[in-house]
Every structure is written in structure tokens, then in C-alpha cells.
Amino acid sequence: MADDEARTATKESADAKQQEQEPTGGQTGTDQETGDTVTEKQALHEGGTGDGQVTPEGPGSTPAGERAEISNFEIVNHYFNRAAERIGLRDDVAAVLRSAYREVQVQIPVTRTDDRIHVYTGYRVQHNGARGPYKGGVRFHPEVDLDEVRALASLMTWKTAIAGIPYGGAKGGVNCPAGELEAHEKEKVARSFMSKIDKVLGPTRDIPAPDVGTNAQTMAWMMDEYGKLHGHTPAIVTGKPISLEGSYGREAATGRGLVYMYREAAAALGIRPSESRFTVQGFGNVGSWASRIMQELGAKLVAASDAFGAVRSDEGLDAEALASHVADGGRLRDFEGGEEISAVELLETECEVFIPAALGGMIHKSNAERLRCKLVVEGANSPTTPAADEILEDRGVFVVPDVMANAGGVVVSYFEWAQNLQHFRWEEREVNEKLGRIMRRAYREVAARAEKDEVPFRLAAYEVGIERVADAARTRGYIS
């Protein structure tokens, strides 16, 4: 059948492209079936953390520069289960909060320039809406599947609760090879996806935003498609271009939020941001903005990577120049202001703070020992596996977890939505100040909980988030 053939061809070409594109260790590539995954997964299912079963360099272990093969879903549920147990959440309530409220799967057939129909699958998972409309990004990436979208939707529920903004949690995705689609093909995917899920969306129901493989342009197409069906509705998506009622400060918001978190953590650890060195894994939207804003504080970017390679400079890479180099189509590894290094050397670069801002599972039990930093501020979602988290804790590396650290994007999305509902625009300074207030408040509330319960920040953050969601669900009468 033509569709099946096209689907197979597309999958093969996506796989081939990934192998070709990722000399630094890449996303999961050919090692997806190694025994290491099974070991870490099995240990998790047995209530452990996955370490101790295989030596870091032992047979079947994940090479140090690659992603661990444990799913984001397992990572998020591992932390949810531990926190739920700690706060004594009833099993039946935990079962409600662990699973998603609604999961939609749609077919997206797209005729590409090869004149063949390529069939992609789109997902929208609405995890929990107790605290407000569902909110979460849309990812275009060949590895998107239902489990990943579920995990990311669940993470959004806890993230919005920890940040204290009036949203629930959702996530969407299409398993298309975004990196190899031409702009008009990406537009077809975005419009087709929106036209098939519009009935479960709405400015008071569920509001998508950009994520990996999507951007302000994608949101503009999605808003336009929704408008054809329902009339002009800017508040249907956030992360839009400024010319279409996007918010000042939204593009940089996740990176800026990380820096607010870093400043709080640095003060607690006695690190002076202006004298600190930092490394960024994944110099994309989040990583490059975090770098530019860290540099404004006087901090030095000593190493950075993307899917194609990594660079280092002990004197410091110029984050602005590096971002321009990438925006002009250059590769990090070709940047003249630094020397090319491997993915493993990136991990081993000595610095005060390491910022993972690529994909999930990049810090795992086979490479967590290699980090040479005092602090990890998680920009990516689920970058650290539970086994790696334990190793970092044992080594005294302080972790500001994803579920609070990278909330800046959704916080400014909330501001964009609020501005859209009023057809009003705030100045960038106002946006950044309000973002700072929310990020600092979240940090201090989690820090207080961590101190009171004598638990790491990640567990404390989940405890805070779960309690807020359970309380809202109970108060509304959704659960008793």
C-alpha cells in the first residue's frame, strides 16, 4: 500500500538522517535496543533506580555521549510515585493523578515534494485540568510517540502547579522529521494537526505552544487554521510572533527563567554568577538564550554543543557571536572562537554550572560521573535519569530540576495568553520582571519544602506540585 510504503520510507529516512547528523552521540540512533535500557528499566520497575546492575563501561551500558534508553514516561512516573508516597497520597487518588484525562491520536497524511503521501501520527494528551485550562507545547520530531507525549503532559501538570500559574498540563506532538521538512511541508503538518484536534482545544480549554521542532511560525499557522474554523482567536496558542499578538520576552523566556533559578541556587551555594563558568548541552532556543543572559551577568560560557558537535574555549565562547553563527546556518563545531571537542569532553569540561538543554535522558548512569560541575540547572525536560540523579546527589552536585527550572516558557506563555484575552500588550521589561517574581517565588517555596522535609529539590518540587493539584481536584469535587 502506498501509505505504508511512504510511512516506511519516511521512518527509514528519518533514522538514516539521525545517524548521519549526530556524530556527538545523537538522540537514540542505532543503540535503541541495547541491554542497558532493559537493565535501568527493570531496576526502576523493581523500585530501584537502575544503578548497580551494570558497570558504567560494562556490557550493554549506554555510551557516555548518548541518551539513556529509559523513556521520559518512566522518568516522570518514577518521581511522581516517590513524591506521592512521601506525602501519603491515597492510592486511588494517585491513580487518577498519574493517568491522563484525555488522549487524542490523529492521522496526518502529507503529500511531500517527492509526490508521495507520508503518513504521520499526531497526539494531544490532556493530562490534568484541575487547576485551569490544559497548557503545553507541540513537538515535531521523528521520535515522538504516545508515551513521550504522556510524560511531557504529566510534567506540565506539575510544572504549572509549582510555578503557581492557573493552568493544567498537556502536550502534543507529531512524529514527523521536522529537520528535513521544507517550510511548506511543515505548514501542511501544522495546519492538518490543528484542524484535527481543534475540537478539544480552545482559549479556555487547551492552549498549545512551541516545543522542539516547532516555533513562532508554526504557532502562526496553527492560529490561522483555528481562526478559519472558529474566527480570529489569538489566545488559542502562545509563543506566536510579535506581529501576531505574541508577547515580548516569550522567545527568551525559558532561558531567562533558568538564569533566575541559577541566581537563586548560586547564592545558596556561595557561587558568584559573575565569576562562574557554565556549559550548555543543546545550543537551541533554550540553551542559546540562557547562554546570552548568563553572559550578561558576567558568567563565562566554556563549552556548548548541538546535535552536530561541540566546542570549548577556556577563555570563554562569545554566546552572542555563537548564536549569530548558528542563526546564519553555521555549525557549532565550525565556530572560530573555540576548539572542537567530543560530546564526552563536553561533559568533562570543568565549570560551576552545567545546563542540559537538548533532549531527555542525556545524563544517565554511564556518564553522570563525568560531570565536573557544582550545579546542574535542567533546561531540557527529563534530561537526568533517576539513576544519574542518585549519582549526582551522592557526588554532592546540586540539581535544580526541570519541573521548576524550565518553567519560564510556560510562565510567559501565561502572560501572552492574559494579554491576548485583553487585547493588550505589556512592555518587555514588565514581562521580565513579572517572570523573575514568579521564578523566585517557586524557587523559595520548593527550597522551603526541601529544607522542611530534608529531601532533594526534585522530590520537594513534585511534593508541592502534587499537593496543589490534588487539592484543586478535591475542592472542585472531581475526586473525593
List of residues contacting ligand NAD (CB under 6 A)? 22, 24-27, 211-212, 254, 281-287, 305-307, 357-359, 379-381, 406, 409
Residue 107 to residue 113: CA distance in whole angstroms: 19
CB of 92 to ligand NAD, least distance (A): 31
CB of 108 to ligand NAD, least distance (A): 20
Contact 417, 207 (CB under 8 A): yes
CB of 46 to ligand NAD, least distance (A): 28
CB of 55 to ligand NAD, least distance (A): 23
Contact 231, 263 (CB under 8 A): no
Of 213 and 234, nearer to ligand NAD (C-beta) is 213
CB of 130 to ligand NAD, least distance (A): 21
CB of 254 to ligand NAD, least distance (A): 4
Q: Which strand ranges, in their side-by-side order, compose the sheet holding 102-111?
A: 102-111, 117-128, 169-174, 134-140, 206-210
Residue 280 to residue 353: CA distance in whole angstroms: 9
Of 13 and 215, nearer to ligand NAD (C-beta) is 215
In the complex, residue closest to ligand NAD by CB: 284
Of 257 and 273, nearer to ligand NAD (C-beta) is 257
Contact 60, 101 (CB under 8 A): no
Residue 149 to residue 139: CA distance in whole angstroms: 9
Of 185 and 402, nearer to ligand NAD (C-beta) is 402
Q: Could you write out the three-class secondary structure of 92-122? A: HHHHHHHCCCEEEEEEEEEECCCCCEEEEEE
Catalytic residue (one of 135, 159, 171, 186): 171
Based on the residue annotation, tell me whether 171 is a catalytic residue of this protein.
yes
CB of 283 to ligand NAD, least distance (A): 5
Of 211 and 318, nearer to ligand NAD (C-beta) is 211
Which residues are within 8 A (CB) of 354 and not within 5 positions of it... i.e. 6 or more apart?
Answer: 278, 279, 281, 347, 371, 373, 375, 376, 377
Residue 321 to residue 307: CA distance in whole angstroms: 19
Of 234 and 379, nearer to ligand NAD (C-beta) is 379
Of 145 and 453, nearer to ligand NAD (C-beta) is 145
Beta bridge partners of 339: 312
Residue 94 to residue 81: CA distance in whole angstroms: 8
**Could you tell me which of 159, 228, 234 has the C-alpha nearest to residue 191?**
228
Residue 119 to residue 18: CA distance in whole angstroms: 19
Residue 208 to residue 473: CA distance in whole angstroms: 22
Beta bridge partners of 442: none
Positions marked active-site: 171
